[in-house]
Amino acid sequence: MKKIFGLITFALIFAFVLSGCTSTEQKEASSTNAGGKDKIVVAVINDYPPMEFKQNGKLVGFDIDLIEAIAKQENLQVEWKEMKFDGIIPALQAKQVDAAVAAITIRDDRKEVVDFADPYMKSGLSLIVNKDGTVKKIEDLKGKTIVAKQGTTGLAKARELAEKYGAKVKVLQDDTALYLDVEAGNSDATINDFSSAAYKVKVDGDKSKLCIIGDKLTGEDYGIAVVKGNKELLDKFNNGLKVLKENGEYQKLMDKYFATK
């Protein structure tokens, strides 16, 4: 009888422990998916207007609005992780973030280590110089200094032009520093995406010391980067982007930041 009583007691205790474990697991799951939304960590830079920048301490810009709109459509909760541009691809490879948006050009070498959603914008590189400088056309780069940002297609193009025209290349870490360097006369030109350069010149208006010369040097597609192999998230970005383009929300963002009308 004691043996039977002991078995019953053990069974009750075991059931209680299992019940406690189930309760804990449910609590953890609900905290991971607060409000029924899947949480994703998205890498972003904070110094590249109008794509992404800080305004009154808050992240704003075309890319920010685009991801938030897609997240709303696809029932996702976004946690932003700010970092330098050249740290984004390594962060994706190390799975420290789930995705990234930062006017990232879709390139074959990048596609080897991360996946890209469908292109969301066409851009290209431009040559930006000091209005009062001696570079008036691309051939004037001979013997001059071109400054570009670490880890970008602009740096690759700067090195290409430097070799072609006998120029020197300087590398800096952020866009603000690039423009300031040219404005101060420390470098003769910089190469950057047209969207960023055009926005910078427009915002500065008559007081701008910079100007864009010549045609776009390249044609490029921007894409949302995702950890390699995460097809589920990739599909969500592609579907969300498709819906935004169909319902007119995408065009509203273009009009807001680029005055396309």
Residue 4 forms part of a structural domain: no
Residue 15 forms part of a structural domain: no
Is residue 71 domain-shared with residue 112, that is, in the same domain? yes
Within 8 A by CB and 6+ apart from 217, the residues are 124, 125, 126, 127, 157, 161, 191
The pLDDT, as a whole number, for residue 124 is 92
The pLDDT, as a whole number, for residue 123 is 87
The pLDDT, as a whole number, for residue 17 is 38
Using an 8 Å Cβ cutoff, are 212 and 194 in contact?
A: yes
Is residue 72 domain-shared with residue 191, that is, in the same domain? no
* Residue indicated by tokens 């992780």: 81
Share of the chain above pLDDT 90, in %: 73
Residue 203 forms part of a structural domain: yes
* pLDDT per residue as tens digits for the range 106-156: 999 999 999 999 999 998 999 999 999 999 999 999 999 999 999 899 999
* pLDDT per residue as tens digits for the range 54-73: 999 999 999 999 999 999 99
Q: Is the pLDDT of residue 186 over 50?
A: yes
Is residue 117 domain-shared with residue 230, that is, in the same domain? yes
Q: Give the chain's domain count.
A: 2
Residue 28 forms part of a structural domain: no
Q: Which two tokens stand for residue 68?
A: 């938030």
Residue 199 forms part of a structural domain: yes
Domain containing 171 equals: 125-218
Is residue 182 domain-shared with residue 207, that is, in the same domain? yes
Residue 20 forms part of a structural domain: no
Is residue 47 domain-shared with residue 156, that is, in the same domain? no
The pLDDT, as a whole number, for residue 242 is 98
Residue 259: which pLDDT band, with cuts at 50, 70 and 90?
Answer: low
Is residue 57 domain-shared with residue 97, that is, in the same domain? yes
Is residue 44 domain-shared with residue 111, that is, in the same domain? yes
Taking alpha carbons only, the member of 33, 34, 35, 31 closest to residue 23 is 31
The alpha carbon torsion through 214, 64, 205, 185 (nearest 10 deg) reads -60
Q: Hey, how many other C-beta atoms are within 10 angstroms of the C-beta on 40?
A: 20
Rounded to an integer, the average pLDDT of 31-59 is 85
Using an 8 Å Cβ cutoff, are 221 and 119 in contact?
A: yes
Is residue 83 domain-shared with residue 195, that is, in the same domain? no
Residue 200 forms part of a structural domain: yes
Q: Is the pLDDT of residue 76 over 50?
A: yes
**Range from 157-161, 197-201, 213-217 that averages highest in pLDDT:** 157-161
The pLDDT, as a whole number, for residue 33 is 54
Is residue 116 domain-shared with residue 227, that is, in the same domain? yes
* pLDDT per residue as tens digits for the range 77-96: 999 999 999 999 999 999 99
Is residue 238 domain-shared with residue 169, that is, in the same domain? no
Residue 19: which pLDDT band, with cuts at 50, 70 and 90?
Answer: very low
Is residue 137 domain-shared with residue 170, that is, in the same domain? yes
Q: Which two tokens stand for residue 198?
A: 């055009």
Is residue 74 domain-shared with residue 50, that is, in the same domain? yes
Residue 195 forms part of a structural domain: yes
Q: What is the CATH number of the domain that holds 113?
A: 3.40.190.10
